[in-house]
Amino acid sequence: MIAAAGQRSRRCFIECFTAIIRNKNTRLAYARAVGQFFACCEDRGLGLAELGPVTFVRLYKVPSEKPIRPTVKQHLAALRMLFDWLVVGQVLPVNPAAAVRGAPNM
């Protein structure tokens, strides 16, 4: 999804995961969370341009049936951070995850 959105999105993605996250374990956990979400989007044929707040809430999936609260918070933090970085890099006009403050009901 990131690669399909062009050079600017690729650069922002790399910068986000290298410049902001210094801890290797956090970087891996955030990358896993983002990868799961993007896989869900790609399964439905969605690109970055189609992601808005409503679409984000509808598609966001917690990795297990009974999520542990810190995991949900970590996944949302990872997605919010990446989308913030994509907004700053002028890849997206708004952060689709910005309004989500807890685990959406699925």
The secondary structure of the chain in percent helix, strand, coil, rounded to multiples of 5, reads: 65, 0, 35
Whether the model clears a pTM of 0.85, i.e. scores above it, the answer is no
pLDDT value of position 81: 92
pLDDT value of position 104: 47
pLDDT for 14-72, tens place per residue? Answer: 998 888 888 999 999 999 999 988 888 888 888 888 888 878 877 765 444 555 556 77
- Assess whether pLDDT exceeds 60 at residue 106: no
Domain ranges for the chain, please list them.
Answer: 3-88
How many alpha carbons lie under 13 Å from residue 4 in its C-beta half-sphere? 10
Cβ-in-10-Å burial (0-12, 13-18, 19+) of 103 comes to middle
Architecture, CATH, for domain 3-88: Orthogonal Bundle (1.10)
pLDDT for 84-94, tens place per residue? Answer: 999 999 999 99
